[in-house]
Amino acid sequence: MGRMLRELPATARALTRAAKRGCTSPAGLAFALVAALAFALASCSDEEPAKRVDLTKRVEITAPGAPEGVTYAYLPQYSHAISYKRHRGLVDYLTRATGIPVRQVFPATFDEHVNMVARGEIDISFSNPFIYTRLAKLGSRVFARIVEPTGEPYFRGQIICRRDNRAIRTLADCRGKHWIAVDPFSAGGFLFALGLFHDNGIARSDFAEVAFAPGPGGSQEKVVMAVYAGTYDVGSVREGTLDLLKGRIELDRIRVLARTRAYPGWLYSARRGLDQDKVQKIAKAMFKLSMKDPEAAAILSTAGMRAIIPARDEEYAPILDLVRRLGLEDGRP
């Protein structure tokens, strides 16, 4: 269009010259004007340059093989992108700090995560304590755990309902109700609550329905949203989830019915057979991260933790005990 605008004055000048020569009748002038307009409009449809590409030259492609190095996986309770976003900094740090190429891999589900550990495709696993009970059976051993954003190396579960649900006053009222939990393998979002109900004499079968939040990523928030919307009567989330939704929903319409006891938090475990030297190096690098160091603080905050501290398998005895009490030893909820 700009080219057209540039050309119009030139066309007008040509027309004026023609009119001055007196060789243009009024009708001819009108036609010349139309022709000039048409020309100007046609000239503004200038084609952008096309790059010549020969589509006939074909090759068969071959997928690249997996690179070498220690694989690092985050239990996929969020999408791969979020997992990547949260842990990329830490993975990069570990690579830099240890000199060992650490590569993050992304299992699609909890089961796949466990299976990949079993197949040796995941060397360092960052999982919740419930999954760890399964991994431990596969020979994985915990070597570190994180300090929660609350500042404690523990976390709890919460049972919530709508504040206007008059049918539910106590845990006992939950009998016969519809319960939505985060995931069958979620510790804070299902296992802890199930233990609490169990301790209060409410079995899983006492509920009219036990449902789990659909799809990957943000499952904790989905539970809150389902209760908030009234789709389910009660919900179970890990402590701190409600704060994530502050400003997006009216939190005062949600009532925390009960909170579970505190359990040790998320942990790092090394698969069976992983070179202990590498484990030590990685553990050492992890322990060096401190919130006092801005760079380290950024890495920690992005990963959703305040620090990584040493851990031993015994610290997870309460979890094992809970699993045992609930009859979930076979790893199937």
Partner 1 sequence: MTSTLRFRTKLNLGIITIVAATALVLALVISQVAARALEDESKRTGSVLVENLSMRAAEPLLGGDLLRLKDLVDELPQVEENILYAFVTDDSGRVLVHTFQGGFPVQLTTANTTPEGRGVAIQLLDTGQELVYDFAAPVLVAGDRLGSVRLGLTRQKVLSVVNRLLWAVYATAGTAFVAALLASTYFAGRVTRRLNALRCHAEEIVRGNLDHQAAPPVYRNCWEVLDCGSEQCPAYGTRGACCWHLAGALNPACKTGDCPGAGKTCDVCPVYLENRGDEIQELAETFDVMSRALKTHIEELRAAEARVKRQERLMRTVLDASPDQMSMVDDKLVYLAVNRTFSQALGRRPDEVAGLTSKDLFPPDDAARRDRDNLDVMRSGKPASREIPFFDGERDRWFHEVRLPVADADGRVIGLLRSARDITDMKEVQEQLIHSQKMESVGKLAGGVAHEINTPLGIILGYTQLLQEDAPEGGQLASDLAIIEKQAKVCRKIVADLLGFSRQTESAKLHMCFNNSVLEVVSLVQHAFSLDKVAIVTDMDDRMPIIYGDPEKLKQVWLNLLGNALDAMPEGGVIMVRTHLDTPRMQVTLEVVDSGQGIRREDLQKIFDPFYSTKPVGQGTGLGLSVSFGIIEDHDGSIRAASPAPEDLLRKARERAGILEDAVSGPGSILTVELPLDHTTEENEQA
What is the closest distance, in whole angstroms, from the C-beta atom of residue 68 to partner 1 in the complex? 15
302 CB contacts (<8 Å, ≥6 apart)?
85, 86, 87, 88, 89, 90
Closer Cβ to partner 1, 124 or 174, answer by number: 124
Burial bucket for residue 161 (CB in 10 Å: 0-12, 13-18, 19+): buried
Task: Tell which positions 163-202 bind partner 1, by CB under 8 A.
Answer: none
Q: Cβ(303)–Cβ(90) under 8 Å?
A: yes
Q: From the CA atom positions of the chain, what is the Rg in Å?
A: 32
Closer Cβ to partner 1, 149 or 217, answer by number: 217
What is the closest distance, in whole angstroms, from the C-beta atom of residue 45 to partner 1 in the complex? 6
Backbone torsion region of residue 267, taken as left when φ is above 0, otherwise alpha when ψ lies between -120 and 50, otherwise beta: beta
| Choices 100-108, 160-168, 176-184, 310-318; region in contact with partner 1 by CB under 8 A | 100-108
| Choices 45-53, 167-175, 191-199, 241-249; region in contact with partner 1 by CB under 8 A | 45-53
Closer Cβ to partner 1, 82 or 320, answer by number: 82
Question: Judged by CB under 8 A, how many residues of this single chain contact partner 1?
Answer: 42
Closer Cβ to partner 1, 298 or 317, answer by number: 298
Q: Which one among 22, 23, 61, 164 touches partner 1, defined by CB under 8 A?
A: 61
Q: Which one among 3, 6, 13, 85 touches partner 1, defined by CB under 8 A?
A: 85
Q: How far, in Å, CA of 13 to CA of 6, rounded? A: 12
Q: Which one among 20, 21, 58, 166 touches partner 1, defined by CB under 8 A?
A: 58
**DSSP assignment letter at 122:** -
Closer Cβ to partner 1, 23 or 59, answer by number: 59
Question: What distances in angstroms separate CA 142 from CA 34, 270, 298, 300, one per listed residue?
Answer: 83, 6, 24, 19
Closer Cβ to partner 1, 84 or 154, answer by number: 84
Task: Tell which positions 201-260 bind partner 1, by CB under 8 A.
Answer: none
Closer Cβ to partner 1, 56 or 170, answer by number: 56
Q: Which one among 18, 44, 226, 296 touches partner 1, defined by CB under 8 A?
A: 44
Burial bucket for residue 273 (CB in 10 Å: 0-12, 13-18, 19+): exposed
| Choices 60-68, 171-179, 181-189, 243-251; region in contact with partner 1 by CB under 8 A | 60-68
Task: Report which of 283, 256, 281 is spatially closest to residue 269, judged by C-alpha positions.
Answer: 283
96 binds partner 1 (CB under 8 A): no
* b/e sequence 30-63, b meaning 16+ C-beta within 10 Å: eebeeebeeebeeeeeeeeeeeeeeeeeeeeeee
Burial bucket for residue 304 (CB in 10 Å: 0-12, 13-18, 19+): middle
Closer Cβ to partner 1, 53 or 330, answer by number: 53
63 binds partner 1 (CB under 8 A): yes
Task: Tell which positions 9-38 bind partner 1, by CB under 8 A.
Answer: 25-27, 30-31, 33-34, 37-38
Task: Tell which positions 105-144 bind partner 1, by CB under 8 A.
Answer: 105-108
Phi first, then psi, for residue 144 (nearest 5°) are -160, 155
Task: Report which of 202, 195, 251, 243 is spatially closest to residue 227, judged by C-alpha positions.
Answer: 251
Q: Which one among 19, 80, 272, 301 touches partner 1, defined by CB under 8 A?
A: 80
Collapsed DSSP state (helix, strand, coil) of residue 202: coil
281 binds partner 1 (CB under 8 A): no
**Chain positions contacting partner 1, by CB under 8 A:** 25-27, 30-31, 33-34, 37-38, 41-42, 44-45, 47-61, 63-64, 66, 79-81, 83-85, 88, 105-108
